[in-house]
Chains A and B, each alone.
Chain A
Amino acid sequence: MRPALLYLVLVGLPLLGVLGILRAGSGLAAPPSFGGAWALAPASYPDGCTPPAELRVAQSGRRAEVALGAETEAAEVDGRRLRTRGAVAVRGGACRGWHVEAAGEGAPVPAALVGRLVPEGCACAPVPFRARRAGAPAPGTH
């Protein structure tokens, strides 16, 4: 085969294919982005029931890791909602941990999270919260 024709087949055609893929993928939708650090809006809580002030999310598609300090807990993204599978463990305070249930506000990258923290291992009541992004999403947290 002549070099020019060979080049066209081996290089040109796949390049056209890439253009086709970019066109085909333009209609795809990915889950909303919850990744990054979120500052929980300050509020007053009963003694011992104060939740951590920051919530961090590392997201991989529909799966995420939520941290309320050093410990993390797996979470799932379902539509616009984020929900931890179990309680996110915390150190100190009356509660062993908090379940996180939240929904994003704003699209496609939510600017705020609205939801509640449900305590585990204590008698505290669930805490509703509204969180704002604490700066730009941290690198690698998605």
Chain B
Amino acid sequence: MHLLLTLLLQIAVVLVAARALGALCRRIGQPQVVGEMAAGIALGPSLLGWAAPGVSALLFPAESLIGLNVLSQIGLVLFMFLVGLELDPRLLRGRGETALVTSHASIVAPFFLGSALALYLYPRLSDASVGFPEFALFMGAAMSVTAFPVLARILTERNLLRTKVGAVTIACAAVDDVTAWCLLAGVVALVRAEGAGSVLLTLGGSAVYVAVMVLAVRPVLRKLEAYYESRGQLTQDAFAAVLLALLLSAWATEYVGIHALFGAFFLGTTMPKERGFVREISERLEWLTVVFLLPLFFAYTGLRTQVGLIDEPALWLDALLVLGVAVAGKSGGSALAARATGLSWREAGALGVLMNTRGLMELVILTIGLDLGVISPALFVMMVLMALATTVMTTPLLEAVYPTRLIRRETVGEADEAAFTVLVPVALPSSGPALLRMAKALAPEGRPRLYALHLQRPDGARLTGADPADDADDALGAEALGPLLAAAEAEGVPVRPLAFVSRDVGEDITATAHLKGADLVLMGWHKPILSQSVLGGAVYDVMRRTRADVAVLLARRPAPWRRILVPYTGGAHDRAALRLAERLGRQPGATVTILHVVRPARGPDEPRLGLSDEAPEAFGPAVRLKVVEREDAIEAAVEEGRVGYDLVVIGASETWGLEPALFSTRHERLAQACPVSLLIVRADPSRASTPVEAAHAAAA
């Protein structure tokens, strides 16, 4: 096949495999990069080449791999530049001695153990083309690395960045990355050097390079940033200038004898980061790099990873030893140092687990080692497996050491006092003002304690998702909560905004409601992609799990809602609807009509569901009871709703065709047909009157 055709086919296959396995990993709570690494290995001789050698030979003929290699190398240059961009000195601000001692110890401990392991591995898995010092130093550097991007992503997704552990970890990881790459640059220079003169030349060249970058390039980049600020946007010329600087920097470090990737990384760290300049550059480069080019690197690495080389029990024991040393050195060293500097055992353990994440950065270093011939193919396989294993183990170990509930408690905080507390999750900014007004209407005699919550799903294409800026948390929810907060200011209602990244929106809303002691979770509605259902998706999750009343507002008419209809047949959810209607009925000028629907053929002994007990006296003269005999309760409610009401408040029950369901198209006739605003209420199961009702409510 023509080289270009083969390359296009290779890229397509790699992208499909990477996206599929990446998505699978995200579903099971693993970082996407784990799936992408696994996809690369699966496409290589370890799986595809072993299971279907013909297909493998067709897809990845040896002579065609040069294209894949070139693209993956370009991807790595861009990736390392992005990693450098993400490293911000502000990460280190105020971290003090804990970060300093912990970060250095977290490098030196695995470096020491990696070098010690080299004493055993050198005669077994290396050869005379590599000297012991180079081999040992490389093993030390390879064991010391932390995957800063993966780590930052895990911290962001688990909302750890706002915890003490998260703050110290991210600072340590930043220091680790810089140090590990400097160490690696030294090792590369040592390996490539031919004699003492060559070493001196490389050292001198490196010093000149760093001086030029700091004294000449950085001021130019500052001017570029000023130009960006004056234009208010990143122009193509400015972007081209940054790319040119990147290429020259990579070329220079390759030329002086340290690696091109070091130049890319160093330029990233040198970029001025005070303003939005680097963020725009990152945004331009990230998608192409993370979605398109890095999977090619994983595939190319996978094609060189031949698990079959470890074909003896003794070699598997060696692989286990490599893994054990890597974990003990990085996790153990970091945790001990963190404990010694004052973190609790749990926090120190969490830091150790996090720092043990190797991920992509390890693969980059290993690839350099393999290319230089410092490590052998079999050792390369062992180290790749170690990188994969340490990345996979991070999330479950972290959950064991530092469970999500503790993180939530630390980041969200607990409720401080009893009051009518409403949690308002906001997905769409436009739904915020109506929700705010409904929350205000539900507490007409006093101010409700109101929490506005925005949960942002993690963006798989972002490199880290972390933003070291002090106002990063505010920025996260600013857009989504902006209209609600503006309405709150106009209405004079104090609101406490909360915003964080969430993998499981339903679970996080439920947990936040619990922590804040919410009496009511008030949600807006927008049509889910895969369902017609009002009560599906995240709403379904929240209604199913939350131990508080949950109400969903379909705001078809703007506030104020004064003429209120409550269709009623009985049951926990109708009673919850009554409770909220009673609150709304306290608004000045509000009237509440309770539409009690009974079946026409009821016998003389059939009770009327005790409505007289349910309708509280608090409704006062503003309440009106209307009893209708109808077989079809839904139709009765819709008909009544057409006659001069602003709002229908109704229980989320099967009677009204409003039972929560993950996917549903047959229900919710009432929700579709009701011409006015609708507040669908699902009762807190713990407040249901009878055990039977409680069970029903919980099942719903």
Question: Which residues of B in the span 77-119 have a Cβ within 8 Å of any Cβ on A?
Answer: 97, 100-101, 104-105, 108-109, 111-112, 115-116, 118-119
List 12 contacting pairs A-B, 8 Å CB cutoff, sorted by A. Answer: A11-B101, A14-B105, A15-B112, A29-B123, A30-B122, A35-B376, A60-B377, A60-B378, A60-B379, A62-B124, A137-B373, A140-B370
A22 and B128 in contact, given A11-B105, A140-B304 (Cβ under 8 angstroms): no
Question: Contact mask A10-52 → B, CB, 8 Å, 1/0?
Answer: 1100110110011011101111111100000000000000000
A14-B106 Cα distance, complex, nearest whole Å: 11
Flag whether B341 is at the interface (Cβ < 8 A): yes
**Is there an interface contact between B108 and A15, defined as CB atoms closer than 8 Å?**
yes
Taking the complex as formed, is A3 at the interface, i.e. its CB lies under 8 A from any CB of chain B?
yes
Q: How far is the CB of B66 from chain A (nearest CB, A)?
A: 12
Pair B130/A30 contact, Cβ less than 8 Å: yes
CA distance A59 to B127 in the complex (A): 8
| B125 at the A interface (CB under 8 A) | yes
In the assembly, what is the distance between CA of A11 and CA of B333, in Å? 10
Check B115 against A21 for contact (C-beta < 8 Å): yes
Q: Write the chain A residue with the least CB distance to B129.
A: A33
Quick check: is A108 within 8 A (CB to CB) of the other chain? yes
**C-alpha gap A14/B124 in the complex (Å):** 24
B119 (CB) vs chain A CBs: closest residue: A25
Q: Cβ of A116 < 8 Å from any Cβ of B?
A: no
For residue A134, CB closer than 8 A to chain B, the reply is no
Question: Nearest Cβ in chain B — how far from A101, in angstroms?
Answer: 19
Complex CA–CA separation, A135 to B111 (angstroms):
34
Residue pair A14, B109 in contact (C-beta under 8 Å): yes
Complex interface: chain A residues within 8 A of B376 (CB):
35, 59-61, 142
Cross-chain contact A22 with B136 (CB below 8 angstroms): yes
A109 at the interface (CB under 8 A from B): yes
Q: Is the interface of B mostly helix, strand, loop or mixed?
A: helix
Asked if A109 contacts B123 (CB within 8 A), the reply is: no
CA distance A59 to B375 in the complex (A): 10
A34's nearest neighbour on chain B, judged by CB, is B127
Of the candidates A6, A22, A26, A31, the one whose C-beta lies within 8 Å of that of B127 is A31
> Does chain A have a CB within 8 A of B23?
no
Q: Is B242 an interface residue (CB 8 A)?
A: no
In the bound assembly, the distance between CA atoms of A68 and B244 in angstroms comes to: 43
Q: Give the shortest distance, in Å, between A38 (CB) and chain B (any CB).
A: 14
Structural contact, B122 and A25, CB atoms closer than 8 A: yes
Say if the beta carbon of B609 comes within 8 Å of chain A.
Answer: no
CB closest residue in chain A, given B61: A70
CB distance from B485 to the nearest CB of A (A): 43
Is B380 a contact of A10 with CB atoms below 8 Å?
no
**B133 at interface by CB-CB < 8 Å:** yes
List the 8 closest pairs (A to B, CB-CB), nearest first.
A60-B378, A108-B128, A33-B129, A60-B376, A14-B112, A10-B105, A33-B127, A25-B132
Q: Is the C-beta of B182 less than 8 angstroms from some C-beta in chain A?
A: no
Determine whether the beta carbon of A31 is less than 8 Å from that of B101.
no
Query: A3-B97, A28-B122 given as contacts; is B129 within 8 A of A139 (CB)?
Result: no
Is B406 in the interface zone, CB < 8 Å from A? no
Does A107 lie at the interface of the complex (its beta carbon under 8 Å from any beta carbon of B)? yes
Hey, which chain A residues are within 8 Å of B311, CB to CB? 74
B157 CB → nearest A CB, Å: 30
- Bound CA span A142–B108, Å: 28
Flag whether A58 is at the interface (Cβ < 8 A). Answer: yes
Contacts of B378 in A (CB 8 A): 60-61, 63
Q: A14 → chain B, closest Cβ, in Å?
A: 4
Complex Cα–Cα for A138 and B341 (A)? 47
Q: How far is the CA of A17 from the CA of B97 in the complex (A)?
A: 23
Nearest CB of B to A29, in Å: 7
- Cβ–Cβ contact B128 & A30, under 8 A: yes
Contacts of B217 in A (CB 8 A): none
Kindly state whether residue B211 has any CB partner on chain A within 8 Å. no
Assuming the A-B contacts A3-B101, A11-B105, are A33 and B128 also in contact, with contact meaning beta carbons closer than 8 angstroms in the complex? yes
Q: Are A10 and B127 in contact (CB under 8 A)?
A: no
Alpha-carbon gap, A62 to B567, bound state (A): 82
Q: What 0/1 readout, one digit per residue, does chain B (275-314) give for beta carbons within 8 Å of chain A?
A: 0000000000000000000000000000010000101000
Docked complex Cα distance between A60 and B118 (Å): 14
User: Are B129 and A140 interface neighbours, CB within 8 A?
Assistant: no
Interface size class of A (residues with CB under 8 A): 35 or more
Q: Are A22 and B340 in contact (CB under 8 A)?
A: no
Q: Please tell me if B194 contacts chain A, counting CB pairs below 8 Å.
A: no
Known: A6-B341, A28-B123, A63-B309. 14 other contacts (CB 8 A): A3-B341, A7-B100, A11-B101, A14-B111, A21-B118, A22-B133, A26-B133, A30-B123, A35-B129, A65-B309, A140-B377, A141-B377, A142-B127, A142-B376
Interface contact B125-A60, CB-CB below 8 Å: yes
B337 at the interface (CB under 8 A from A): yes
Q: How far is the CA of A30 from the CA of B341 in the complex (A)?
A: 41
Select which of A1, A26, A32 is within 8 A of B128 by beta carbon: A32
B101 cross-chain contacts in A, Cβ below 8 A: 3, 6-7, 10-11
Q: How far is the CA of A60 from the CA of B379 in the complex (A)?
A: 7
CA distance A119 to B123 in the complex (A): 32
A61 and B304 in contact, given A11-B108, A139-B372 (Cβ under 8 angstroms): no
**Residue of A at shortest CB range from B318?**
A61
Complex: chain A residue closest to B329, CB-CB: A14
The 0/1 profile, CB within 8 Å of B marked 1, for residues 70-100 of chain A is: 1000100100000000000000000000000
Report whether B340 and A28 are in contact in the complex, using a CB–CB cutoff of 8 Å: no
Q: Beyond A21-B136, A25-B122, A61-B378, is A14–B108 a contact (Cβ under 8 Å)? A: yes
Q: Give the docked Cα–Cα distance between A30 and B370 (Å).
A: 17
Q: For the complex, what is the distance from the CA of A77 to the CA of B126, rounded to whole Å?
A: 12
Residues of A within 8 A of B336 (CB): 10
Asked if B606 lies at the interface with its beta carbon under 8 angstroms from chain A, I say: no
Q: Kindly provide the distance from the CB of A3 to the nearest chain B CB, expressed in whole angstroms.
A: 5
The reply to whether B119 and A21 form a contact with Cβ atoms under 8 Å apart is yes
Q: Across the interface, which residues of A come within 8 angstroms of B112, CB to CB?
A: 14-15, 17-18, 21
Distance (whole angstroms) from the CB of A20 to the closest CB of chain B: 9
Q: Which of B369-407 contact A (CB under 8 A)?
A: 370-373, 375-380
Contact B309 A137 (CB under 8 A): no
B263 within 8 A of A: no
List chain A residues, Cβ under 8 A from B372: 139
Does B268 have its Cβ within 8 Å of any Cβ on chain A? no
Q: A35-B373, A140-B380 are in contact. Are A61 and B125 (CB under 8 A)?
A: yes
**A61 contact from B115, B123, B136, Cβ within 8 A:** B123
Q: Mark B127-171, 1 if CB is under 8 A from A, else 0.
A: 111101100110010000000000000000000000000000000
Bound-state Cα–Cα, A70 to B129, Å: 25
Instruction: Give bound CA distance, A113 to B208, whole Å.
Output: 43
Query: Which of A29, A30, A107, A141 is most buried by chain B, counting CB atoms within 10 A of its CB?
Result: A30
Q: Which residue of B lies closest to A27 (CB)?
A: B132
B340 and A6 contacting across the interface, CB-CB below 8 Å? yes
User: Is A107 touching B304 in the complex (CB atoms < 8 A)?
Assistant: no
Is B124 a contact of A61 with CB atoms below 8 Å? yes
In the bound complex, do residue A28 and residue B132 qualify as a contact, i.e. CB atoms below 8 Å apart? yes
Kindly provide the distance from the CB of B637 to the nearest chain A CB, expressed in whole angstroms: 70
Cβ-closest chain B residue relative to A63: B378
Nearest Cβ in chain A — how far from B371, in angstroms?
4
Determine the chain A residues whose CB is within 8 A of the CB of B375 once the complex forms: 142
Tell which of A10, A32, A60 has the most Cβ of chain B within 10 Å.
A60
B124 and A137 contact, CB distance less than 8 A: no
Candidate in A7, A28, A107, A108 with the most chain B CB atoms within 10 angstroms: A28
A28 to B119: give the CA distance in the assembly, Å. 8
CB pair A25–B136 under 8 Å, yes or no, is yes
